[in-house]
Structure 1
Amino acid sequence: MSCCCGKRKRVADCNSDEENYLHLNLNDASFYEYSDAQPKYSTDEIGQLCEGVSFTFTGKIAINCERFSINFMYKNETRDVALHINPRLPQNYIVRNTKVHDVWGREEVSSALPFLLRRGDRFAIQVFITDVCYMISINGHHFTEYSHRVPYSGVKHLEVKGDVEDVEMQRTIVQSYPQRLKESAARVIEEHLSAEMDEVDANAEEIISIPREWCLISAPAKISDNSSKTCQVSADQGLTLPYYGGITPKSLKEGRCLKIEGRVRLLPHSFYINLQQGQNIWPHPVIAFHLNPRFSQTSSGAIGKAVVCRNAWYDGSWAQEERSELDTNLRPGRTFCLAIVCSKDSFEVYVNHKFITEFKFHVKPDIVDTVYIQGDVKLWNVSLEPNPMIKGKNVRIYHNPIYTEEY
Structure 2
Amino acid sequence: MAHSGQRAPYFTPSLPFTGPIHGGLHDGLMVIISGTVLPTCDSFKIDFQCGPYPSPHADIALHFNPRFEERGCVVCNTFERQNWGREERKDAMPFFKGHPFEIRVLVKHDSFQVAVNGNPFVEYKHRIPLSKVNYLSVSGGVDVAIISFQDTAPPSAWCPRAAGITNAVFLPMQFAPGSTYSSNPAFAPGPYQPQTYPVPYHTLIFGGFYPSRSLIITGTIPLHADRFHVNLKWGEHIAFHLNPRFSEKTIVRNSQLHQSWGPEERGLPGGMPLLPGQSFTIWILCDTHCFKVAVNGQHQFEYNHRVPNLQQVDRLEIEGDVTLTCVQV
Q: Give the strand-richer structure, 1 or 2.
A: 2
Question: For this structure pair, what is the TM-score category when the shorter chain's length is used for normalisation?
Answer: 0.3 to 0.5
Q: Structure 2-normalised TM-score?
A: 0.43
Higher normalized contact order (CA 8 Å, seq sep 6+, divided by chain length): 2
Q: Structure 1-normalised TM-score?
A: 0.35
